[in-house]
Structure formats: C-alpha cells, structure tokens
Amino acid sequence: MSTAREIMHLGAQCVSEHETLDAAARMMRELNVGSLPICGDDDRLKGIVTDRDIVVKCLAEGEDPAVMTAGELAQGRPLVVRDSDDADQVLRVMEQHRVRRLPVIDHDDHRLVGMISEADVARNLPRERVAEFVTAVCAE
C-alpha cells in the first residue's frame, strides 16, 4: 500500500499568514496552483487558501485583497495527513471531508512536506479506487 509521502508532490510552498490575498493570488498564478498552504511565523500550517476563497470570502464580500491577509481566511484547524499514513487513510480523509487537496506533514516534526491533490491520487492509485474517490468527493 502506498503512503502519503509516495503519493504527494513535493515542494509545496506556503504563503505567510501575514501576506495579503492579492500577493497570494499572484503566487498561485506563478506556481500554476489553485491553493496554497498558509504557514505562520512558527513555520507551522495554519490553513489553506484557495482561489475560490479569495473570490467568495474576499471579493464577493466587498473586501480588499490588498488589505485582507491569508491568515484572516485560515479558520479552524486544517485537515492534514502524515507522510507515513497509507493511501486508504488519505482517501478516507479526503472523501469524508470532500476535499480535493490535502497537506502532508512530517510524521516527526509536524512540518509541511507536501500536498496531495486529485491529480496525485489519479496518477498513483488504481483506476477503480480513483473512480470511487471521485464519486465520493463530487457527489451532491
């Protein structure tokens, strides 16, 4: 059975919790991603900001993305998996919470080491399991 470390893509870059949402959006464009992990001054994961969050929770609410920070959107405890978790656990978390992206933290020091996206699941797991995953996450 594959582990989260074997499925994830490396090099996930954090946006600082103090960074503005317009800067986060530019970073997403440069990295060609739809979400960024939000890290605090302690280098720990505080949440995730998505392109949709910026539109729905900032722009549509009449807020200024040049003023609002990523940390203001980092509400609650972020969902994560450990790098040693097996693929079934990863998929359980993603399916249960209906998320398409999931941060992976180091088993020992709890720091961000990567991200798992739908594309990572599709590339690394059997087709039958990918079909079950997509049905569970996209079900209405």
pLDDT digits (tens, 9 = 90+) for 42-77: 878 888 999 999 999 999 999 999 999 999 988 777
C-alpha distances (whole Å) from 19 to each of 31, 66, 67, 91 are: 16, 9, 9, 31
What average pLDDT does range 123-132 have in this prediction? 84
CATH topology of domain 4-138: CBS-domain (3.10.580)
Check residue 70 and give its pLDDT: 96
DSSP run (H or E) holding 51:
helix 51-53
| Mean of pLDDT over the chain | 89
Task: Tell whether the model's pLDDT for residue 140 goes beyond 70.
Answer: no
Percentage of the chain beyond pLDDT 90 is 51
CA distance 72 to 84: 30
How does pLDDT run across 73-111, given as a tens digit for each residue?
887 778 999 999 999 999 999 989 888 889 999 888 878
pTM score over 0.75 = yes
The domain spans of the chain are: 4-138
